[in-house]
């Protein structure tokens, strides 16, 4: 019986020791927690969130608006300048490509005054005409065929009407006064034509 009471006493002592150890640990943890909460309170006190006033918001919005307006104006001017430069350079390319034909015309005009053989002059002019037609084709310009075709207001512009030489030519193009051209399947210039009636 003495052993049982000794055992019970030892268990009770161990309980007391465990409780004391737990109390000490809690006491150590509590001082650590208190300063942490004090620090957060101090941080919150040091950095209070400041709401911007209506005047500050308005000033910020006005500033943003002015900057955006200036950026748009600069963008508009820059794109306009780029567009003008592009048009100038496109024309320069086209004019440079047509210069060899102009040179051929100059040589032909010089030889016309001195030429005694009309046949050679005619052949030279045909060569220049062929070279010019090839130049136009390379750049997507094609002639609109009109003679003996039915009059089409989408392609032709009627200048006058004349009595048709035959019944087949009634309502058709009898003669072309000025040739019309396509540029990449779009009408560049309408053909000026005479219609038979």
Domain boundaries, the chain: 63-139, 142-197
Do residues 139 and 94 make contact, with C-beta atoms less than 8 angstroms apart? Answer: yes
pLDDT at 36: 47
Which tens digits make up the pLDDT trace of 174-191? Answer: 888 998 999 988 999 999
Can you tell me whether residue 151 is helix, strand or coil?
Answer: coil
CATH 2.30.22.10 holds for 142-197: yes
Residues in contact with 151: Cβ distance below 8 Å, sequence separation at least 6, in sequence order: 158, 171, 172, 173, 193, 195
- The pTM for the full model equals 0.51
CB-count burial class (<10 Å; 0-12, 13-18, 19+) for 153? exposed
Domain boundaries 63-139, CATH class: alpha beta
Do residues 145 and 176 make contact, with C-beta atoms less than 8 angstroms apart? Answer: no
């Amino acid at each position: 019986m003495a052993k049982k009471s000794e055992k019970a006493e030892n268990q009770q002592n161990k309980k007391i020791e465990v409780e004391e150890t737990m109390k000490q640990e809690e006491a150590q943890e509590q001082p650590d927690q208190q300063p942490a909460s004090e620090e957060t309170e101090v941080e919150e006190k040091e950095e209070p969130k400041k709401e911007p006033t209506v005047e500050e918001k308005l000033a910020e919005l006005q500033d943003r608006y002015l900057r955006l307006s200036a950026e748009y104006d600069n963008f508009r001017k820059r794109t306009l300048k780029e567009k003008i430069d592009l048009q100038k350079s496109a024309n320069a390319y086209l004019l440079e490509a047509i210069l060899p034909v102009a040179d051929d015309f100059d040589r032909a005009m010089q030889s016309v005054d001195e030429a005694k053989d009309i046949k050679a002059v005619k052949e030279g002019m045909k060569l220049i005409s062929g070279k010019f037609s090839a130049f136009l084709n390379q750049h997507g310009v094609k002639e609109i065929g009109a003679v003996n075709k039915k009059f089409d207001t989408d392609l032709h512009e009627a200048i006058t009407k004349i009595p048709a030489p035959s019944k087949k030519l009634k309502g058709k193009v009898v003669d072309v006064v000025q040739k019309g051209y396509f540029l990449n399947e779009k009408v560049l210039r309408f053909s000026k034509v005479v219609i038979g009636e």
